[in-house]
A = this chain, B = another copy of it.
Amino acid sequence: MLKDKKNPQQCQIVVALNMIVGKWKPIILDHLLHGEPLRFNELKKLIPDITQRMLTMHLRELEEHDILTRTVYPQVPPKVEYRITEYGMTLQPMLKTMQQWGANHIEHMKEKDN
């Protein structure tokens, strides 16, 4: 196994990190984790500022990592659905912990300002 430039010491934290880094990945995961499967354009509407290019790229990476599945319905116009996998669901506790720490940190920063 080669050394990853982003993970020079094979840190397990970084392994986890690499699944969710990407400017819009946490938001995408957030939407897919506690909800129905979503179509490409539904995600696009939920994340207005993302470009189609980035949405595509992030979704493909998440798919590659078994976090979500991409289902193409052969119809015209095309319909593509993205659905969190069972394995992807295992990210839930981690993301929850991060979310809580983040919320707490926002409070922490407010206190500092006073």
Indicate if A14 sits at the interface (CB-CB under 8 A): yes
> Which residue in chain B gives the minimum CB-CB distance to A29?
B13
> Which residue in chain B gives the minimum CB-CB distance to A93?
B97
Given A66-B108, A90-B101, A103-B12, A21 and B27 touching (CB < 8 A)?
A: no
Contact partner, A15, options B14, B19, B94, B105, Cβ 8 Å = B105
Q: Using a Cβ–Cβ cut-off of 8 Å, how many residues does chain A contribute to the interface with B?
A: 39
Report the minimal beta-carbon distance from A26 to chain B, rounded to whole angstroms. Answer: 4
Besides the known contacts A17-B26, A17-B102, 11 further A-B residue pairs in the complex with CB atoms under 8 A apart: A9-B27, A11-B30, A12-B103, A14-B26, A14-B102, A16-B102, A21-B21, A66-B112, A90-B101, A94-B101, A97-B97
